[in-house]
Chains A and B, each alone.
Chain A
Amino acid sequence: MMRVAMLLAVLIVGSTGGEIAITHGMKSTGEPSRLRPRELLAFLSRALRSGWFWVGVPLMALSFYSLLVLLSWEPISFVIPASALSYVVGTLGAKYILREDVSPARWIGVVLVCAGVALVAAG
């Protein structure tokens, strides 16, 4: 039980931490001036040179491997609903690390989405 909880924590912290690092990388890359192939390619080549992007990728890979290991221990109907907690953890990270302004409406929305994904994944 202890090792399941720990690996679940690695899964959630890895995926949200990775996404937060990538978000930070993309914000400092700056948005493409227009959504045309040329500007998108220029944006991507800038984005791939962002250090934060390469912090995010291994964290997301770590999270993916924890998911595979967890799936070998526990049924998928437990693992996916439990990983829906990452919506709440991700929003906390967005608020305290990325300094996003999470309004009460957004918080209620996130909690509903988290519960909804857990129910859908549980089948």
Chain B
Amino acid sequence: MGHELRIRIKTLVMILAMVVCANAGDLMLKRGMTQIGAVEISAPGLRHAFASTVTNGTIWIGIVFLVGFMVSYMTVLSWADYSYVMPAGAFGYALLTLLAVVFLHENVSPRRWVGVVLICIGVLLVGQTRPRTTEVMAREVAA
């Protein structure tokens, strides 16, 4: 397998991991906070909210996903361009809309569909450029 192709596949896999982790994490946090209920802004209210969030399993699953997002984001940026990863990650918005239609049977406005189409074309355009355009920097840590 060619070097360039390997970088491309590696980058796309990490971006997919980023998008899945970010969406799953947000979904779990939302679900966890719904279980806890509306937070009351007062000293006892915040104490109660803190205690219920740190003991809520769903919240912790969400946090694990968000840590997974951060790790895959940092890893992919160690070799790929920021101007490649950042727009490509917007694919998540399009994915979220499709999931909402297929699984939640939500109605999607024409304006939102136009947005989804623009995101998909934009991501395809960015996706076919070279993932890395800068030189490999010398490692600052002594080997």
**A-B interface contact total, Cβ < 8 Å:** 151
Q: Would B140 and A98 count as touching, CB distance under 8 A?
A: no
Give every chain B residue within 8 A of A23 (Cβ-Cβ): 77, 82
Cα of A28 to Cα of B77 in the assembled complex, Å:
10
Q: A100-B134, A116-B119 are in contact. Are A122 and B111 (CB under 8 A)?
A: yes
Q: Would B117 and A116 count as touching, CB distance under 8 A?
A: yes
Q: Would B141 and A117 count as touching, CB distance under 8 A?
A: no
Q: Is the interface of A mostly helix, strand, loop or mixed?
A: helix
Which of B90, B121, B128 lies at the interface centre, i.e. has the most chain A CB atoms within 10 A of its CB?
B90
Residues of A within 8 A of B (CB): 19-20, 22-23, 26-32, 35, 40, 43-44, 46-47, 53, 87, 90-91, 93-95, 98-103, 105-106, 108-123
Q: Would A112 and B122 count as touching, CB distance under 8 A?
A: yes
Which of A26, A44, A90, A93 lies at the interface centre, i.e. has the most chain B CB atoms within 10 A of its CB?
A26
1/0 contact trace for B105-143 toward A, CB 8 Å? 000010110111111111111111110011001011100
Cα of A40 to Cα of B81 in the assembled complex, Å:
19
Q: Is the interface of B mostly helix, strand, loop or mixed?
A: helix
Q: Would A117 and B129 count as touching, CB distance under 8 A?
A: no
Q: Would B118 and A91 count as touching, CB distance under 8 A?
A: no
Q: Would A30 and B112 count as touching, CB distance under 8 A?
A: no
Q: Would A112 and B119 count as touching, CB distance under 8 A?
A: yes
Known: A19-B82, A23-B82, A29-B139. 7 other contacts (CB 8 A): A20-B82, A27-B77, A28-B137, A93-B82, A112-B121, A113-B119, A119-B118
